[in-house]
Amino acid sequence: MPSLPLLRALCRIGDDRLILGHRTSEWCGHAPILEEDIALANIALDLIGQANFVLQYAGTVEGAGRTEDALAYFREAIEFRNALLCELPKGDFGVTIVRQFLHGVFSVLQWDALSRSADGTIAGIAAKALKESHYHVRHAGEWVIRLGDGTEESHRRAQAAVDALWPYTGELFVQSADEADLVAGGLTADVSLLEPAWQQQVRDVLARATLQAPEVPWMHGGGRDGRHTEHLGHLLAEMQIVARSHPGAQW
């Protein structure tokens, strides 16, 4: 009997990495320096690899014969459950790095919690992803410090990035009510419990970077239930076009 709540929960976890991985891969060939071109491509690869394992399991749990490719390439925007933060355009290098950092700290905390999941497959995927995510956060966090505590221009761009992205961070800690049984059973983690550690780690690095976290009166949301920004449709058009043009093709 397929578990719809577990399928949804797995899509939330997998879609974050798939969409963020895609955005990160957009830098391939265009990064400001060669080492960053390589770093961002490697990070994107890790993220897409994590999404691959999670969505593969989601398809298994659903039991309707959908593979990870079917879920990635043949769902519509309204069926994706990533946080809005992940689908925003890559912006300049500052925006990319700040977004990588803000989501990355959440990711480390979430994977850490999921590595204790009562579901062995989720725990196994999470334990691996956690180790990779530590490298991602180190990379992004060290850049946040260099950019924030850097030149007048890098500081201005980094602060603009923090200001633009902060209103999308609240959504990361909104726990979906339809996962109540999964949380109670220890299968998934209650993301609202991750916020205090996230605030502390993020604010510590922002302070070292001489950057300010803005006060925002309202946080964006809706991605976890398929209500996305205007950006996701364009992203999916690019990401899905090859598969959709040749449905059923085998590599």
Partner 1 sequence: MTHAFTRDQVLAWLDDVKDPEVPVLSVVELGVVRDATVAADGHVTVTVTPTYSGCPAMRHIEELICEALLLRGAPLVTVQTVFVPAWTTDWMPEAARAKLEAYGIAPPGRAEASDALVPLRRAGAGPRCPFCKSARTALRSEFGSTACKALWVCAACTQPFEQFKAI
**Residues in contact with partner 1 by the rule CB under 8 A:** 35, 38-39, 42-43, 45-50, 52-53, 105, 108, 120-121, 123-125, 127-129, 131-132, 134-135, 137-139, 141-142, 144-145, 201, 205
Q: Is 26 helix (H, G, I), strand (E, B) or coil?
A: coil
Question: 230 CB contacts (<8 Å, ≥6 apart)?
Answer: none
Tokens 């899509």 belong to 11
Q: What is the nearest approach in angstroms of partner 1 to the Cβ of residue 218? A: 28
Q: What is the nearest approach in angstroms of partner 1 to the Cβ of residue 225? A: 27
Quote the Cα angle for 93-153-100, to 5°. 25
Q: What is the nearest approach in angstroms of partner 1 to the Cβ of residue 34? A: 9
Nearer to partner 1, 37 or 220 (CB): 37
Nearer to partner 1, 119 or 176 (CB): 119
How crowded is residue 185: how many other Cβ atoms within 10 Å of its Cβ? 13
Nearer to partner 1, 42 or 240 (CB): 42
Q: What is the nearest approach in angstroms of partner 1 to the Cβ of residue 137? A: 5
Nearer to partner 1, 43 or 72 (CB): 43
- Answer yes or no: are the C-beta atoms of 52 and 13 closer than 8 Å: no
Quote the Cα angle for 226-135-238, to 5°. 40
Nearer to partner 1, 24 or 176 (CB): 24
- Phi (first) and psi of residue 32, to 5 degrees: -65, -35
Q: What is the nearest approach in angstroms of partner 1 to the Cβ of residue 184? A: 24
Helix, strand, coil shares of the chain as percentages rounded to 5? Answer: 70, 0, 30
